[in-house]
Amino acid sequence: MTAKESASKLSTPIQYVKGVGPPLEPCFHTLGIRTVKDLLFFFPRDYDEAAPRVAIRDLTVGEWAWIQGTVGDIQSRTTAKGKKLLEAVIVDGEARLYATWFNAQGIEKILRVGESVRLGGTAWQDGPYWRMTHPRWKRGNLEEEQETDTLVPVYRLTKGLRQETLRKIMRGALDAYCFEIQEAFPESWRQERTLLEIAQALEWIHFPPDRENLEQARRRLVYQECLVPRLAAEAARVQEIAESPAIVLPVDARLDARIRRLLPFDLTEGQNVALKEITTDLASEAPMRRLLQGDVGSGKTAVALYAMLVAVAHGHQAALMVPTEILARQHSQRIQAYLRRSHVRMGVLSKGTPGAERKRLLAAARDGEVDLLIGTQALLRADLGMRNLALVVVDEQHRFGVRQRTRLRAAGRSPHLLVMSATPIPRSVALGQFGDLDITTIQGVPEGRQPVKTYLVRAEQGEKWWEFVRRKLREGRQAYIVAPFAQEKRTEYVADVESLFEKLTNDELSSFRVAHVHGKMATQEKLGVMEDFRQGNYQALVATSLVEVGMDVPNATIMTIYHPQQFGLAQLHQLRGRVARGSHAGYCACLLTEASVAARERLENFARVTDGFRLAELDLKARGQGDVWGTRQHGAPKSLLIDFSRDANILEQAAADARQLVQDGAWEKPAFDRLRGLVARYSSRAAWSWLSG
Ligand code: ADP
Ligand code: MG
């Protein structure tokens, strides 16, 4: 069979697959499955244990099992808290088990009294009764089914398509077409990495004989899922170097000393290590594509500034892009202070920049009369066109989408690109989610920093906390108070900045100078308040999470967070980072209410762990794969298979292999023809089809 024949078989419309036909075709289209190939790459979202099946009286507490019985009774009621609760009694001979579902839609339509059903779950005992909460369910009798498989795929479904039907269709399709998928990896290369053949991986991802086979299948597919985008990035880079190389910006000892003299502090070991990687990139005509990350307060800005000054020293331009006006203002103030003794011409461009000034600045930037341009996303829209742009830095990157990044790149001629992530990201996630970026991590934070003491404060301890806050304010420190909403919101509790500001100024902080700020205020007013707070004119600032990003007021050492359950771990960590900026010890309190209980574990982790990377790992474990820290890029495809808490090694290997393959040219050999085909397809963004070739 030729590759061409295979390809045409794989692109057979789904309607002609056995068991589908015109009646089911629309269901498959709804699921995004149009061809045989789409079907084979429609992976299970989960797997059922087909065994063991246990009689109710033989259940073991805490162990997962299937039981089989008849539905004896079903009752639904509403709990005191307004939750809908459904309880079914399953009878198996003399024994019975109570199954409970909360807010489950439609289960009562499946479980009918007197009918046979099987439930799978972890059983527990409540006095004399066996119980399962939210068990998996299945109508019908277990005996009627084949029991050879130990794991059964569970697919995402759509109206009109049943799980059992889809399984049958998949089984048939695998048997008929699985071997049409061309192996993209050369045999020896695949074996060196102990990766399954693609056909075997597909068979086992759908119908794994056991967990280990499933893991092998997943590993093969995850490797490929990571390798292909990496290869695309490496290959694009090679092409870019050939077509429009970046400007080479070497750093010698003199330049290095000149730049360091401008900074008011010595760089930390971690910053120096990071800089080494960055300056190596800058000295090459391969455009830098690097993600710089570090814990909150690790000093990413200074590293970025160093890089920008390298560009400027060579007579070129650099641009720094930030997500908010406040950050633009703050960065420019800080950088301006550093650059007092230099000749660097700096410009600041943001939404608030008046029309005439903006025009002048843009013209100056275009003509090369501005060396360093700082601005918000408005910069992007303004079609930069800086004549000598050699480096673009994007701060707090997780607010920037992939598409914006691409646009930015197109704005100059292959400028070097450095993006800084706002929050630490586990390396595996960074590798998986930022497929086109190299990663540099700043280890540690500047010396003398003390970890922020974090407290979970129960309502009855509130007065004690405020007593502490007042004492610190009298000592001359400043405080942030953060609430989830800007203006009054109809919730059971006060959770907005305006009401809270009123309450605090009348009560807890009545003898202090307090200001408030939130996103609904006019930009100039907002900036004015923040600036006044920075200069110490206010002692306390009541704010929304707007202060999360970038606020850098070393004298502010106390953070009080109202309704912390409203914030994600990353946000909480950012907020806490606001009070760890100077040499004074920082304190952070999460004020708990009844509503915080649901987020108890997250909050406890937050209080216990101050290292951002460890916190990110915990977040990852708690949430499994998916959107860690909420950093998934806008428009980036969601991973089908990657589990970031387990796949670090395989992702690392794929990244290293991609680099190696392109750099030593092996990639051009005929043995890699098919892989190159996949990469080409990925580069043309043909959805997920790149995975299957
Ligand atoms: P982040 O990595 O969170 O963006 P910043 O770049 O804002 O951190 O730096 C945090 C604070 O640490 C700033 O006030 C900055 O001036 C200061 N800082 C950065 N590097 C050093 C250093 N090497 N020594 C002392 N202070 C530093
Ligand atoms: Mg920063």
DSSP 100-159: EEES-SSHHHH--TT-EEEEEEE-EEETTEEEEES-EEEES-GGGS----SEEEE----T
Ligand 1 contact via 301 beta carbon (within 6 Å)? yes
Identity of residue 201: A
Residue 55 vs residues 97, 98, 331: alpha-carbon distances, Å: 10, 14, 67
The CATH homologous superfamily for domain 452-609 is P-loop containing nucleotide triphosphate hydrolases (3.40.50.300)
pLDDT computed for residue 688 by the predictor: 38
Distance 497 CA to ligand 1 centre (A): 29
302 lines ligand 1 (CB under 6 A): yes
Averaged pLDDT, 381-387: 65
User: Is pLDDT above 60 for 639?
Assistant: no
Length of the chain: 693
- pLDDT recorded at residue 316: 94
Tell me the C-alpha to C-alpha distance, in Å, between residue 255 and each of 136, 313, 418.
Answer: 65, 8, 20
CB count within 10 Å of CB 499 equals: 17
d(CA 115, CA 104): 19
Q: What is the DSSP letter of 61?
A: T
State the sign of the Cα–Cα–Cα–Cα dihedral 681, 1, 186, 667: negative
Measuring from atom 26 of ligand 1, which residue has the nearest CA?
446
Nearest-atom number in ligand 1 for the CA of 554 is: 14
Is the Cα torsion angle 147, 149, 154, 155 positive or negative in sign?
negative
pLDDT, tens digit, 9 for 90 and up, residues 227-247: 988 888 888 878 778 887 889
Residue 449 · residue 299 · CB < 8 Å: no
Closest C-alpha to 462, from 488, 485, 433, 493: 493
Yes or no: say if 433 and 291 are a contact pair by the CB < 8 Å rule.
Answer: no
The mean-pLDDT minimum among 7-11, 105-109, 185-189 falls in 105-109
The arithmetic mean of pLDDT across residues 174-186, rounded, is: 89
Domain definitions of the chain by residue range = 51-147, 253-283+297-423, 452-609
**333 in ligand 1 pocket by Cβ < 6 Å?**
no
Q: Please give the Cα distance from 476 to 236 (Å, whole number).
A: 54
CA 449 to centroid of ligand 1, rounded, Å:
10
454 CB near ligand 1 (under 6 Å): no
| Separation of CA 268 and ligand 1 centre (Å) | 10
More confident residue, 50 or 194: 194
CA 552 to ligand 2 centroid distance, Å: 9
Compute and round to an integer the Cα radius of gyration of the chain: 29
Q: Is beta strand 46-49 parallel, antiparallel or unpaired with respect to 64-78?
A: unpaired
78 burial level (CB within 10 Å; 0-12, 13-18, 19+): exposed
Residue 555 Cα to ligand 1 midpoint, Å, equals 14
Q: Which residue from 552, 573, 574, 584 has its CB within 8 A of the most atoms of ligand 1, so it is best to mutate? A: 552
Structure token digits, residue 659: 């680099």
Task: Judge if the beta carbon of residue 397 lies within 6 A of ligand 1.
Answer: no
User: Which of 269, 292, 301, 421 has most ligand 1 atoms within 8 Å of its beta carbon, as the pocket-test mutant?
Assistant: 301
User: Using one digit for the tens of pLDDT, what is the confidence trace for 394-411?
Assistant: 887 654 544 455 555 544
User: How many Å apart are CA 55 and CA 579, to the nearest integer?
Assistant: 58
Mean pLDDT of 406-428: 73
Residue 61 CA, ligand 1 centroid: distance in Å: 53
**661: Cβ below 6 Å to ligand 1?**
no
| Closest ligand, as measured to the CA of 324 | 2
484: CB partners within 8 A, 6+ apart = 495, 496, 544, 545, 562, 563, 566, 567
Would the CB of 265 count as within 6 Å of ligand 1? yes
pTM above 0.75, yes or no: no
DSSP E strands: which ranges in 179-325? 289-294, 317-321
Q: Is the Cβ atom of 121 under 6 angstroms away from ligand 1?
A: no
**How confident is the model over 166-193, as a mean pLDDT?**
90
Nearest CA to ligand 1 atom 18: 299
Q: Which atom of ligand 1 is nearest to the CA of 577?
A: 3
Please tell me the distance from the alpha carbon of residue 432 to that of residue 332, in angstroms, as a whole number.
33
What would the two tokens of residue 318 be? Answer: 């650099």
423 pLDDT higher than 90 = no
**Closest atom, ligand 1, to C-alpha of 448:** 25
Separation between Cα atoms, residue 623 and residue 632, nearest integer Å: 14
Q: What is the rounded average pLDDT for all residues in the chain? A: 84
Q: What are 364-370's contacts with CB under 8 Å, separation 24+?
A: 365/317, 368/317, 369/345, 370/317, 370/345, 370/346
Percent of the chain with pLDDT over 90: 41
Of 151, 167, 164, the residue nearest 209 (C-alpha): 151
Q: Is 284 helix (H, G, I), strand (E, B) or coil?
A: coil
| Residue owning the nearest CA to atom 10 of ligand 1 | 297
Q: Which ligand is nearest to the CA of 578?
A: 1
424 lines ligand 1 (CB under 6 A): no
For residue range 245-291, what is the model confidence (pLDDT) as tens digits? 889 999 999 999 999 999 999 999 999 999 999 999 999 988 898 99
**Closest Cα to atom 9 of ligand 1:** 299
Closest Cα to atom 19 of ligand 1:
299
Q: Is 230 in the pocket of ligand 1 (CB under 6 A)?
A: no
Report CA dihedral (506, 507, 511, 513) to the nearest 10 degrees.
-60
Is residue 552 lining ligand 1, measured as CB closer than 6 Å?
yes
Whether 253-283+297-423 shares its CATH topology with 452-609 is answered: yes
Q: Mean of the pLDDT values across residues 538-567?
A: 89
Place of tokens 């060196």: 192
Q: Return the CATH fold of 253-283+297-423.
A: Rossmann fold (3.40.50)
Which band of pLDDT confidence, cut at 50, 70 and 90, is reported for residue 96? Answer: very high
Tell me which H or E stretch contains 531.
Answer: helix 523-534
Instruction: Check residue 640 and give its pLDDT.
Output: 58
Say yes or no: CB of residue 691 within 6 Å of ligand 1.
Answer: no
Report whether residue 271 contacts ligand 1, using a CB cutoff of 6 Å.
Answer: yes
pLDDT at 134 over 70: yes
- Mean pLDDT of the region 417-422: 87
Looking at 490-494, 534-538, 557-561, which range is the least confident one? 490-494
Buried b (16+ CB within 10 A) or exposed e, 530-559: beebbeeebbbbbbbbbbbbbbbbebbbbb
**Cβ(300) to ligand 1 under 6 A?**
yes
Partners of 347 in the β-ladder: 373
Task: State which ligand 1 atom lies nearest to the alpha carbon of 298.
Answer: 2
> CA neighbours within 13 Å on the CB side: how many for 504?
31
The verdict on the CB of residue 444 being under 6 Å from ligand 1 is: no
Q: Is the separation of the CB atoms in 346 and 332 below 8 Å?
A: yes
CA distance 481 to 473: 13
pLDDT of residue 323 exceeding 60, the answer is: yes
How far is residue 470's CA from residue 465's CA, in Å, rounded to a whole number?
9
| Total Cβ atoms within 10 A of residue 20 | 22
Pick the CATH number of 51-147 from 3.40.1180.10, 2.40.50.140, 3.40.50.620, 1.20.1250.20: 2.40.50.140
Q: Tell whether ligand 1 has an atom less than 6 A from the beta carbon of residue 377.
A: no
